[in-house]
Amino acid sequence: MTRILSKKYTILSRICSRATKEKCFATVTERIVEYVLRDLRHPEGGFYSAEDADSLPKGDSAEKKEGAFCVWTRQELDSLLPKVKVKEGKDKTKAELFCRMFGVKDGGNVDPR
């Protein structure tokens, strides 16, 4: 099953890359396959459909918290999203639009600690 899944994703990534001339499709597909094989494979065969959201909030933390690895700070979003201005009535950065769309607050809206 693992070999079949890996082969199908490899073929799909090649088709997408050739059709669009974008190498990023192949890269994203390869990373998805790596993740599924590494984190979602059951030791006795088959795959899990999801993984537990409990994770360590920081690398040196001893206690896991619900959804900690999904938490982003406003500063992280500002640094990761392009600084390109987007026209929407008045100019806003992509980070500003993202934060407005998803309700991200400067002080945060979740505490993973």
pLDDT in tens, 101-111: 888 888 777 66
Which residues of the chain are modeled with pLDDT < 50?
none
Query: What pLDDT is attached to residue 113?
Result: 54
Query: What pLDDT is attached to residue 112?
Result: 52
Alpha-carbon distance of 104 to 108, in angstroms, equals 7
Q: Is the dihedral of CA 60, 64, 68, 69 positive or negative?
A: positive
Residue 26's H or E segment, with its range, is helix 23-39
Query: What pLDDT is attached to residue 110?
Result: 66
Give this prediction's pTM. 0.45
Q: Is the dihedral of CA 21, 24, 29, 30 positive or negative?
A: positive
